[in-house]
Each structure stands twice: as structure tokens, then as C-alpha cells.
Amino acid sequence: MLSRQADNRLSSVLVATTAVLVALCLWYNHAWFYDDTDITLRYARHLAQGLGPRWNIAGPPVEGFTSPLHVFAVAALLKLHVADRLAVRLISFAGHIVLLAFLWRWTRARFGQLAAVLTTCAVAVSFPLLVWDLGGLEAVPFAALCTAGTLFCFDYLESSNRRDLLWGGVLLGIAAFTRMDGAVAAIAALLAVLLLSKAPLRQRVIDVVLSGLIVVASLVPWQIFRELYFHAPLPNTYYAKVYGIPLGWRVRNGLLYWKIYLKLAPYPAEILFLIAVVQLLRRRVSRLSLALWLWLLIMAAYIVTTGGDHMFAARFMVTLVPIFALASVIGLLQIGALSTPALASSVAALFLVTSALQFRNEILNPRYESSSSLAGTIVGNSMRALIPAGSLVGLNVAGAMPYVDDDLNYIDMLGLNDYEIARRNPVPIDPAKHPVVVGHLKGDGLSVLRRHPDVLLLGPPSGQLAKGWLTLGDSEIVAAPEFARDYRLCSAPLIVTPQERAQLALVHLTADVQIYYYVRRGSRVVCERDLSQAQ
């Protein structure tokens, strides 16, 4: 057992070193911002303006955002005149701080100071959490809610106190309102309690059902609103990313996602696995450890079945990081790996080294604003004078440009913000013909052309010619006879500031390119340079 002096000394070293690593990570990646966050911001801005949670002002609304609670929170800050990117970052950092405070208090009360310091520092210095604090999506606040709700539920394992389980249900219900997979976290937590709690079976069943009803009740108001406003039983993100995508394909890509994650420092899954093996061999496994393992397995299986994710910094794993950290620290305590100064110092040294190794991987260090966000912003500003307000634009990169040019209506040709394209089923997946990107497999060229968009931007934010490597929807557009008949190819230069030119160079893009856009004949869109004869 460590003396209080040794405990305090080691804790101080851990906290100080962790603070340095956190500061370096934030400085190194401070410019990072992700294009999809602009989708959330467009919904939130319209909500703050009193137009409702909608992407396009005209036409039927669609639930193309991932997190209702996040949209409402961002809208509230925008209403208070907080700058857009500052608003989303404030919410993420606040979620991270609340998560750390909760973990510190919860772990210290049950396992002591050193365990609390190790757990909290591991979550504080996790690059996936820090990067998504900067990136702007809801991953970190969602992780905070899932962690707090799950641990409240797991207090019931030993206490058999119904109040613990009910508070867990409240927090997990809010998590499910934050993101749909919060329901999976709730199912995992309540199943673990049902299987592992020492409470009598009848009491256990009743309490789990009551907690589950709280989760369901927290979703009912939004579900009613969803049905009445969006006319859909599930968010459009489900239809765009999962519906119609073969399960076998999703599982293969989900396993690949895990394979990539397992190569990333600080190797939380591998470390927990090794600790768990020792726990099992020594028969030092508590109910809490078993519950944490089961929760992680269910969440890991869910990630596999969804096909994983295409974004930087292991976004889907953010939710798992706090539970990985806590389960590992509890395991270390149970096998005696923190019982002497020498052992505890060795564990601390390993933690600091593996944490520092996160700087070596580009996946965990995007560093600069995402290329699609930066390019989309520049293209939007460059084309503002060319496209009259109210025009309909079809495009694939649906974040930055629609946020910049808010007076236009858009067709999201990958389906995330489009009711009809998202529901395409089956979806032809052919890597030999089209780009295959998890979450961006949908497309329906004929659906796009039926709506007669005034402008079509094929491919990347700056557009591309109607040839070469095209998405599913783009290839169908190009193959349709009406495309050649009704659209002409135009180009316009990018209008960039010196600062934007330097930023483009950092993400390996050049400002010396043309915007290629297809204009519907007879529309009021300005064709700055007509290339239809050369098409």
C-alpha cells in the first residue's frame, strides 16, 4: 500500500505531466475544425432564427444532424451572439471538463486518490477527446453523458439502491437524446446490471425496467416531434449511413476500423485486455470489472455493425475511452499493480510514455482545418456573386459551402441531408467504379436531376469535370441524357486571401485551381467562363 506522501508525489507528477501533454496537443492541433460541424451549425442557425431545425429553408425539413441536444445547445449560444465555432468548441470543452470532474469524484470515492488521478489523466490526455473538443461535433459531451449514466447504473451492482439505477436512466436517456447510439449504451449498462447485480432477481428486474422506462420516456417528446415534423421514425443519418448498406460489408469495414484503432497509442484496448487476462488468471475480478468489460464488448460490437467511421481521431472510440481507462485502473488495483511505489511508478511511466506516443500518428493529429471545410468555405465565398439567392445547388460536400451561402437551397447528393437519396435501397457498392467511403456510400443521380438544380458541383468542394473517378450519384448524373442536354460546364477562379492561400498549402491544396460547376441552361446563375464547347 502506498503511503500518503508517495501517493501525493506520484499524483503530482502525473497531473503536471498530463497538463503539459494536453497543452501541447491543443497547441499542435488548434487549427483543426471539421466540415460536418458546419452542417450542425446550419441547422442551429436556422433554429436560432426561428425557422426550426432545418437544413434548407425551402422544402420539407430533414433530420440530417446527429445530435438533437447538440443542435439545441449550439442554437442557444448563437442566440446569445456567441461566435459559431467558439460555440461548438465551448460545448465540447465543457463536456470534457464535466467528464473529468465526474470521473475524479466517482473514482476517488471508491478507489482512492491515485486511481482517480490515473483515470482522470488518461481521459484528459486522450487525443481523440482533445481533437474532437476542437473539431466541433458532439462526441465528447456524448461520452460524458454515457460515462456518467453507465457508472451510476453500475453503482447498483453492489448497493442495490434503486436511486442509483434511476439516475443512471436519466443520464442515459439524455445521452440517447444527444445521439442515437446512447440507446445502445443504455441497453449495455442495464443488461450488465441485470446479469451481474447482487440484488435479488425480482428487485433487479423491476429496477432495470423502471430505469429503462426513464430512458424511453426521455426520448418520447423528440420522437413525437420527429414523426410530426420530419415525418420519419429514425434520423436521416441512419438512412444515409446504415439503411440499405449490406450487413456483411458494414461488418468488414467495422472490423477494419477496429484494426486501425488498435494500432493507435496509447493502446487502451490492448492494455485492458492484458490486465483482464491477469485478473482472470488470478481470479481477482469484481462485478464492476465484469460489467465494464460487458459494456465495452457491446459498444464495440455496435461499432462493428455500423461499419465504423471515416473521420479523423477515432471519433467513434471517444465514447469508449473513459470506460477503457476506468476498467484498466480498477484491474491494476485488483492485481496489486499499484500496491508499491516501484510498481505504481512503473505504471505511471508506462502511461506517460504511451500517452506521448500519440503525437506520432497523423490520424490523431489532424493539425489543420479539414481540407473540405477550408475549400468549401473558399468556394462558397467565391461563388456568392455568381449564384442568385434561392437557387438550388447540388453538391457532395455539404458542410462549409451551405453554411457560408445560407441564402441558397441545396441537394446533399450523398444523402445525409436528403430524404429521398438517404432511403435508396439497395445501394450498388463497387469499389472498382466508385469511391467507397464509410458513411458516404449513398447517391441517386436520377433523383437529383428530377429536381432540376440550377448548379451541380460534382466531386470535391471546387467541383470536377464529368469524367474520371466519380461518386455513385455523380456517375449516374453524368450518364443521364438530360445532363448533357440541360447543363453546360462553367468555371470560375477561387478568390482567396493571402491567409487562405497559406492555409490551403498546409493541407496540400493549391489556390491556383478553377471551380468547375455545371449550370442548368436557362437559369439565372452566372457562367463566368463557358466551357461547354470544350466539354
Look at residue 434 in the predicted model and tell me its pLDDT: 85
Give yes or no for a cis peptide into 266 (omega within 30° of 0): yes
Whole-number pLDDT of residue 535: 57
pLDDT for the residue 504: 87
pLDDT > 70? residue 45: yes
**The three three-digit cell numbers of residue 307, written as one number:** 461499419
pLDDT tens-place string over residues 149-178: 999 999 999 999 999 999 999 999 999 999
- pLDDT for 436 equals 85
For residue 233, what are the CA distances in angstroms to 62, 184, 224, 225?
12, 17, 9, 10
Nearest to 286 by CA among 327, 234, 346: 327
* Of residues 429 and 124, more confidently modeled: 124
Q: Taking residues 263-291, what's their average pLDDT?
A: 97
Tell me the sheet residues that pair with 519: 455, 488
Q: For residues 128 and 315, is the Cβ–Cβ distance under 8 A?
A: yes
Cell of 358: 500519440
Virtual torsion, Cα 308, 39, 465, 369, nearest 10 deg: -80
Structure confidence at residue 303 as a pLDDT band (50, 70, 90): very high
Per-residue pLDDT averaged across 190-210, rounded?
A: 97
Per-residue pLDDT reduced to its tens digit, 349-380 = 999 999 999 999 999 999 999 999 999 999 99
Span 468-497, average pLDDT: 94
Q: How confident is the model at residue 329 (pLDDT cuts 50, 70, 90)?
A: very high
State the Cα–Cα distance between residues 409 and 394, nearest whole angstrom: 9
pTM for the full predicted model: 0.96
Is a pLDDT exceeding 90 seen at residue 267? yes
Rounded distance, CA 95 to CA 418, Å? 30
Contact (CB, 8 A) for 187 and 166: no
Confidence of residue 532 (pLDDT cuts 50, 70, 90): confident
Q: What is the pLDDT of residue 1?
A: 65
Residue pair 369/503 in contact (Cβ under 8 Å)? The answer is yes
Q: What is the mean pLDDT of residues 330-339?
A: 96
* Lowest mean pLDDT segment, chosen from 43-57, 229-243, 459-473: 459-473
Model confidence at 323, pLDDT cuts 50, 70, 90, reads very high
Which stretch of 140-144, 234-238, 469-473 has the lowest confidence by average pLDDT? 469-473
Confidence at residue 153, expressed as pLDDT on a 0 to 100 scale: 98
Give 123-135 pLDDT, tens digit per residue: 999 999 999 999 9
Residue 191: per-residue pLDDT: 98
Strand ranges for 449-501 from DSSP E? 455-457, 487-493
Question: Does 435 or 446 have the greater pLDDT score?
Answer: 446
pLDDT attached to residue 534 = 60
